[in-house]
């Protein structure tokens, strides 16, 4: 489904985990993945690990709109995950909001 005619929002979010916080963070991320996929306006929500750096996790998410993402960021599961990031990351969470590329299907 091309998002040219819709306002589907794709985002890439990345974290680098401090090893000593790995269990707490992976647990919160796993719970957030499951709960986020159940949100009515979520289209897809995946968290994958960098094959070359196990501390580096990449979230690939699609939401029906920016509003859907903003609602997501107020959910208990997101806030619980975000809490673990406070002390648990080597560098700040990065979030890249993506839009369709000009001239592309």
Residue carrying the six token digits 């991320």: 29
Specify the residue, 48 or 82, whose C-beta has the smaller distance to a second copy: 48
Q: Does residue 79 belong to the site contacting a second copy (CB under 8 A)? A: no
Distance between start and end Cα atoms, the chain: 10
Which residues touch 9 (CB under 8 Å, ≥6 apart)?
62, 63, 64, 65, 66, 68, 69, 97, 98
Specify the residue, 58 or 79, whose C-beta has the smaller distance to a second copy: 58
> What SS3 state is found at 57?
strand
Q: Does residue 17 belong to the site contacting a second copy (CB under 8 A)? A: no
List the one residue from 15, 21, 29, 81 that touches a second copy (CB under 8 A).
29
Binding residues (CB under 8 A) for a second copy: these are 10, 12, 26-27, 29-30, 33-34, 46-52, 56-58, 60, 96-105
């Amino acid at each position: 489904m091309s998002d040219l005619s819709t306002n589907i929002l794709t985002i890439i979010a990345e974290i680098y985990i401090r090893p000593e916080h790995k269990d707490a963070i992976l647990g919160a991320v796993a719970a957030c993945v499951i709960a986020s996929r159940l949100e009515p306006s979520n289209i897809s929500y995946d968290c994958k690990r960098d094959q070359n750096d196990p501390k580096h996790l990449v979230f690939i998410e699609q939401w029906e709109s920016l509003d859907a993402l903003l609602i997501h960021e107020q959910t208990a599961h997101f806030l619980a995950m975000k809490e673990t990031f406070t002390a648990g990351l080597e560098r700040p969470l990065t979030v890249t909001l993506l839009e369709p590329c000009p001239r592309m299907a």
